[in-house]
A and B are shown apart, each in its own frame.
Chain A
Amino acid sequence: MTELQQRQTPTRAADTATRSAYHPPQRRRFRRGFGLGGLITLLPLLLVFGIFGWWPIGQSVVLSLQQTNLVDPPAWVGIDNFRYLFADPLLWTTLRNTAWFVVLALLFGFPVPVLLALFVSELRRLGGVFRVLVYLPVLVPPVVALLLWKWFYDPDFGLFNQVLDVVGLGPSPWLQSTATAMPSLVLATTWAHAGSTVLIYLAALASVPSELYEAAEIDGASIWRRLWHVTLPHLRGVLLIMLLLQIIGTFQIFTEPFILTDGGPEDSTVTILLLIYRYAFLNGDYGMAAALSVMLAIVLATLSAVYLRLTRKWSTT
C-alpha cells in the first residue's frame, strides 16, 4: 500500500508539473465546457450589472459634462456643471454640515458602541438579552424609526420634552433650531446603527487571546491597565475600520434629514445626497446632480480603497 503510494506520488507531482507548464487539461475541459450553458449562467449577472451597475456609473460621468433636463436634447457643456456647483453657496454649507456630522458622530456615535460592547463582553449572564435589545433598533425600518423620532422630537407634544419637563430641565427645540438640529439627527442615527456595530465589536473582543490577559494579570496589571494595554490595542484595527465605514456612511446620509428636517432649519442639515436629490428631482438639473455625484464617487472610492487596504492588513484582528 505504502509502496503504491510512494510510486504514485512522484508521478502525480510530475504530472501536475507538466500540466501547469502547458494548459492544465482539466481547466481546458472546463473552458471547452463553457459553451452556451455557461454563457446562459453568466447572462443574469452581465445584464443586471451591465445595465444597472456599470452603465449608470459611466452615464454619471457623461451626464456631469452635459446639460440635461429630459425635454431638450442633452448638450455638451464641458466642466460648466462643476463650475456652477462650486459657485453654489449651498455646496459649501452642505460640506460644512457633513463635516459637523462626522465630528458629532465621533463624539457620541463612536464611543457608545465601543463601551457597550466592552461591557457586554464582561457579562457572565444576560449577554444574550443585551445583544438582542441592542440589536432591536437595527430591525426597525429606517422610515418608521425616523417618523417616530420626529414625533418624539416635537417641541410641544413630543416625548423628549415631556421627559425633560419631568426631570426639571427646560424644553429643547430639537429639530427646530440650527444649533440643535444636527445633534438631534446624529442622535437618531446613532440609535439606529449602534446595534450592528456593537455585534461587530463583540466578535472582535471575543478574539482577544485569554493568555494575554492572564500574563498581564500575573505581571500585576490592574483591570484598567489590562483594558488599556491589552484590549484596546487588539481593537485598534476594527476601531479604525469602523471609523472609516462611519465616515463613508455619513457621506451618504439621506433618509434621516429628508424625513426629520428636509434640510432645515436654514439649510443646517442639508447633506450631500439631499443636495443631489434637490438638484435632480426638485430643480430638474440632472447635470449639476451628476457633477456632485461624480465628485462624491471619487471621494468614496478613495475612502473605500483605504478601507480595503486596512481590512487586508488587519484581517486577523
Chain B
Amino acid sequence: MSTEPARGVLSAADRHRPTVRWSIRVAAAVLLLAVAIAGAGPILWVAKGAISPSLELLQEPLRLWPTEPQWENLLLAWRELRVGRYLLNTVVLVGGSWFVQLLVATTGAFALSVLRPRYGRFIYAAVLATLFIPGTTSLVALYLTILDLPITGGSIANTPWAVWLPAGAQAFNVLIMKQFFDALPRELYEAAMVDGAGTWRLFWQIVMPMSGPIVAVVSLLAVMGAWKEFLWPMIAISDTEQQPLAVALPRLAESAEQNQVIAGMLIATIPPLVIFFVFQRHIVRGIGFTGLKG
C-alpha cells in the first residue's frame, strides 16, 4: 500500500482532463513567477543594490542591473562602514551561543534522561515551564540580571557573555535532546556501567557518538536563531564597537551611504543562505522536529 505513489486531491483521471491539466499548468506558471518575485526577488534586489550607485537606487528602483556596477562598494562597506568588524562580532556571538546551547542541552538532557537523579523530574518540569513563558516577557528583568548577577554580583552587560549565557536557557533544545536520549536503548548504558564506565565515558563514548542527528538539528536551530537575533543583543550590548551586524545596520542606515548599507545587508544575508543550501535536508527535517513550534 505504501508503495503506491502519494496522491493529493487530484487523481490521475483528473489530471487527464484538459481543463484540469491546463488550469494546473497556467496556475503553476503564474504562481512560480509570483513566488520567484516574492521569494528570490528581494534578495536579488539587495545584491543589485549593493553594487549600484545610491542615486540610481532612488531614481530607478525597478532597474534590473546598474548602469555601471560598483564592485568597490562591497569593499567600501567592509572598510568604511566596518561591516567586517560587525560581522566578526556576529560570528563570535553566534558561535558562543551555539556552544552554550549545545553544552546545556547535551549535558542537561544526559543527566535527566540517562543518569536520572531523584529530583530530576522537578528540574525537567521547571525547564519545560519556561516554554510557557516566552523570553520576551522577562526581557526587562533579564537586563537587570545581567547588570547585577544574582550570586556573584557584577555586570556582564557589554560583553559577549550577556548574549551567550541567556541563549543557553532554551527549553526546547533540552526537550528534543532528552526525547532523543530517552529513545536510545537503555541496555547500552547498563552494559557500559557494568563494564565500569564512569559518567564521562558514558557521556562521551556511548551517548554522544549516537547523537549526531539531534546535535545537528539543535546546532542548526541555534545558529539560524542566533543569526536572526536583534532585540536582546541591542539591549545587552550598547557599546557600538561590539554590536553584531543586525544591531549595527539600522543605526548605519540612518546616516551612511545607502548603497554601502545595502552592501552590508547583502553580507549579513549570505551566511544563512549558504548554511541553508548546504544543510537543506537537515533543515527540512528540523522543521519536522520543531514541527509546530513556530
Contacts and interface: CB of A to CB of B under 8 A. Distances in A.
Contact of A296 (B6, B137, B272, B288): B137
Interface in B168-187: 168-169, 171, 174
B144 A59 contact: yes
Contacts of B107: 41-45
B138 A293 contact: yes
Most chain A Cβ neighbours within 10 Å, of B132, B138, B288? B138
Interface stretch (A10-18, A90-98, A125-133, A178-186): A125-133
Given A49-B130, A297-B138, A255 B231 contact: yes
B10 interface: yes
Given A273-B136, A297-B137, A143 B198 contact: no
B138 A254 contact: no
A52 B45 contact: no
Given A159-B61, A223-B10, A33 B115 contact: yes
A301 B291 CA distance: 20
Contact of A137 (B42, B132, B140): B42
Contact of A210 (B6, B20, B36): B6
B118 interface: yes
A226 B265 CA distance: 45
A196 B287 CA distance: 8
A113 to B, nearest CB: 12
A130 B32 contact: yes
A133 B108 contact: no
Contacts of B294: 196, 242, 245, 248-249
A37 B200 CA distance: 7
B141 interface: yes
B61 A45 contact: no
Contacts of B88: none
A103 interface: no
Interface string A17-37: 000000000110111011101
Interface string A137-163: 101111111011001100001110011
Given A31-B118, A137-B42, A147-B261, A166 B272 contact: no
A301 B133 contact: yes
A51 B61 contact: no
B283 to A, nearest CB: 8
B39 interface: yes
A44 B46 CA distance: 41
Nearest to A62: B141
Contacts of A75: none
B115 A51 contact: no
Nearest to A121: B8
B239 interface: no
A290 B142 CA distance: 11
User: Which secondary structure characterizes the binding site on chain B?
Assistant: helix
Contacts of B228: 141-142
A137 B230 contact: no
Of the candidates A129, A136, A148, A281, the one having the most CB atoms from chain B within 10 angstroms of its own CB is: A136
B199 A38 contact: yes
B126 A57 contact: no
A162 B62 contact: yes
Contact of B273 (A139, A159, A196, A214): A139
A12 B45 CA distance: 69
Contact of B288 (A124, A162, A203, A254): A203
A63 interface: yes
B278 interface: no
A286 B143 CA distance: 10
A48 interface: yes
A200 B138 CA distance: 29
B292 A200 contact: yes
B165 interface: yes
Contact of A297 (B57, B133, B174): B133
Interface in A195-236: 195-196, 199-200, 203, 205-206, 208, 210, 213-214, 217, 223, 226-227, 230-231
The 7 A-B residue pairs with the shortest CB-CB distance in the complex, in nearest-first order: A45-B108, A37-B199, A53-B169, A133-B39, A59-B141, A56-B141, A297-B137
Interface of A: 26-27, 29-31, 33-35, 37-38, 40-46, 48-49, 51-57, 59-60, 63, 68, 70, 116, 118-119, 121-124, 126, 129-130, 132-137, 139-145, 147-148, 151-152, 157-159, 162-163, 166, 191, 195-196, 199-200, 203, 205-206, 208, 210, 213-214, 217, 223, 226-227, 230-231, 238, 241-242, 245, 248-249, 252, 254-255, 258-259, 273, 276-277, 280-281, 286, 289-290, 293-294, 296-297, 300-301, 304-305, 308, 311
30 contacts: A30-B189, A33-B193, A37-B198, A37-B200, A41-B110, A42-B112, A45-B107, A49-B169, A51-B165, A56-B145, A118-B9, A122-B10, A124-B15, A129-B32, A133-B35, A133-B40, A134-B39, A137-B39, A139-B272, A141-B227, A143-B230, A148-B46, A157-B58, A241-B292, A245-B292, A273-B136, A277-B231, A280-B140, A297-B137, A301-B132
Given A223-B14, A248-B134, A290-B140, 12 more contacts: A30-B115, A45-B112, A49-B169, A52-B145, A53-B169, A57-B133, A123-B24, A133-B39, A139-B276, A142-B246, A199-B284, A213-B11
